[in-house]
Structure 1
């Protein structure tokens, strides 16, 4: 498997697009969502992050195979 800089920058760009979507589409609701997330314990945030990473890895695996 040969991954070049072009693939890395494409992945980073797509990640930024996906990260920015909620702020663009639901700008009015994002402060409330962020406030709710800030009240969650660190373990819950870690679990959310882990599920997101595993989901991303699964998508990459499916698309690349």
Structure 2
């Protein structure tokens, strides 16, 4: 469970980094994302989940 909480914390750091480093650009990106239709957002989210699953698989296989 400690490992899982550590991973969640690391994800939060990575997710928060663009907002901290580039707040003005992130505001523009949020406006662009809000203008997309649901299908495009769903497709993008699915791609990100598959990419994340691939990263996890490769890291587990390598280690």
State whether TM-score is above 0.5: yes
**Aligned residues between the structures:** 61
Structure 1 Cα separation of the partners of residues 9 and 3 of structure 2:
10
CA RMSD of aligned residues (A): 0.9
Structure 1, unpaired ranges of 5+: none
Give 4+ residue runs of structure 1 displaced > 6 Å after superposition. Answer: none
Runs of 5+ in structure 2 lacking a partner? none
User: Which one has a larger percent helix, Structure 1 or Structure 2?
Assistant: 2
TM-score normalized with structure 1 length:
0.86
Give TM-score, length-normalised by structure 2: 0.88
TM-superposition CA deviations, 1:8-35 (whole Å, max 9, x none):
1112111101111110121111111000
Matches within 5 A, 1:1-40: 5-40=1-36
Query: How much has 1:61 moved relative to structure 2?
Result: 0.6
CA distance in 2, matches of 1:26, 1:51: 24
